[in-house]
Amino acid sequence: MSNPNGPYPGRQLFIGLTADSRPALAYLVTGRSPQSRERLAVAADDSIRIDPIGQQEHVPLRFHYPSVKFDNQTGMAVVSNGIQTEAIFETYRLLLIAGTAPTGDYLEKVLNGAGSEPDSLNTPRIAGVITSAGDGKPVFIVGIVTQGAPARAFEVKPEPGVLTGISTYKGSLESPEAFGPASELPRLQPSGKTAKDLAEYLYEISEATYQGDDIRVCAIGGVLSGDGSWSHHIINRHQTE
């Protein structure tokens, strides 16, 4: 199988249920330029960051940001491609504490406030939320904001063994275009049940080259265990070569 968004999804996230019905997430980073590939995912406490390698300049608005944030007390998790991660996390954590229904409206408000990224491609901001409603059942929401259009959020209906996602680009290596909010959301059906399984699956199906170089930067998998805590696994390009 190949990546459902084509050879160049840019940054891409998926949320849903493992084959044994555990809430799960997966995140992929790819890059066409050498600079964009000089990154790696780093775990720190309850977060996973995308950080520069070595002495590379830290650029928080584009390349370097918190990509995943977990709450092992409530089982909530947020994954996104930029600085909006923590704002989304705190918003839905407050909703959970207050007992307010976690609808997609809140995700749209945060994404609208952030807008698309300030780069030459006006890269969309994307995000995924895994939380729960008052009945304790998991709630899955993905969202995107593109240049010149309001943000859109979608509640994902969970199915065992299915992860639903969204990406920044449609998939063209030569001329990347923003993924359209009206497009069909990509889906994965991995048979694996662990965070390692999910990270490896997404990394392997996303192999592609641009100007002779592998575009993959990293992949992250996360799975919620029965005790409400998250396990995660990271694959970094610079640790697999």
Q: Quick one: what percent of the chain has pLDDT higher than 70?
A: 95
Contacts by residues 237-240 (CB-CB < 8 Å, ≥ 24 positions apart): 237/37, 237/40, 238/40, 238/53, 239/40
Q: Can you give the pLDDT at residue 60?
A: 60
pLDDT mean over 71-98: 96
Q: Does residue 126 have a pLDDT over 80? A: yes
- β-pairing verdict for 138-145 and 152-156: antiparallel
Classify burial at 13, counting beta carbons within 10 Å of its beta carbon; exposed 0-12, middle 13-18, buried 19 or more. Answer: buried
pLDDT mean over 166-172: 97
Tens-place pLDDT, residues 136-147: 899 999 999 999
Q: Does residue 167 have a pLDDT over 60? A: yes
Residues 41/31, Cβ–Cβ less than 8 Å: no
CA atoms of 110 and 91, how far apart (whole Å): 9
pLDDT mean over 3-18: 97
Q: DSSP letter at 46?
A: T
Q: Can you give the pLDDT at residue 241?
A: 46
- Asked which of 5-14, 30-39, 84-93, 157-166 is least confident by mean pLDDT, the reply is 30-39
Longest CA span, the chain: 52
CA atoms of 31 and 54, how far apart (whole Å): 18
Q: Can you give the pLDDT at residue 239?
A: 72
pTM: 0.96
CA atoms of 49 and 70, how far apart (whole Å): 12
Q: What is the mean pLDDT of the chain?
A: 94
Q: Does residue 75 have a pLDDT over 90? A: yes
Residues 190/12, Cβ–Cβ less than 8 Å: no
> φ, ψ for residue 238 (rounded to 5)?
-80, 0
Q: Can you give the pLDDT at residue 135?
A: 80
pLDDT mean over 104-131: 96
State whether the Cα torsion 27-170-203-62 is positive or negative.
negative
Q: Quick one: what percent of the chain has pLDDT higher than 90?
A: 85
Q: Does residue 4 have a pLDDT over 80? A: yes
Domains and CATH numbers, the chain: 11-239 (3.60.20.20)
Q: Does residue 187 have a pLDDT over 90? A: yes
Q: Can you give the pLDDT at residue 213?
A: 96
pLDDT mean over 8-32: 97
